[in-house]
Amino acid sequence: MTQGKGFGFGLGKMKELADAFKKAQQVQEGAKKLQEELEQMEISGESGGGLVKVILSGNQEPQRVEISPDALAEGPEVLSDLVTAAMKEAYNKSTMMMRERMEDLTSGLELPGM
């Protein structure tokens, strides 16, 4: 029978575990700060050469829609398409921005199996 093996954690493994917890705490703090920043951001999407503009928060919460009087003259079907296109653009921009910010936040974090 061998002695002194414990659970298989040596001093090196305990340091790795402590470092991982420290990094996780930093990521958690960074995520909270990022969440606050996202709430304050405005991300816009446009269509029709600026006839319609949709503004979302960084959390993808709709803030407002700006419609040019010229867009109204296009009729309801065209206006609906313009609003939808502007919404998609704003959504895609916000998704890409969130992904980039999360990658920045977790860079250097070595997660097992990733």
CA distance 75 to 107: 48
Per-residue pLDDT tens digits for 101-110: 888 877 766 5
Q: What is the pLDDT of residue 8?
A: 57
The domains of the chain, with CATH numbers, are 11-106 (3.30.1310.10)
Residue 65 has pLDDT above 90, yes or no: yes
Query: What does the buried/exposed string (b/e) look like for 37-50 if buried means 16 or more CB atoms within 10 Å of the residue's CB?
Result: ebeebebbbbbbee
The pTM of the full predicted model, rounded to 2 decimals, is 0.69
Q: What is the pLDDT of residue 10?
A: 61
Residue 58 has pLDDT above 50, yes or no: yes
Per-residue pLDDT tens digits for 69-114: 999 999 999 999 999 999 999 999 999 988 888 888 777 665 555 4
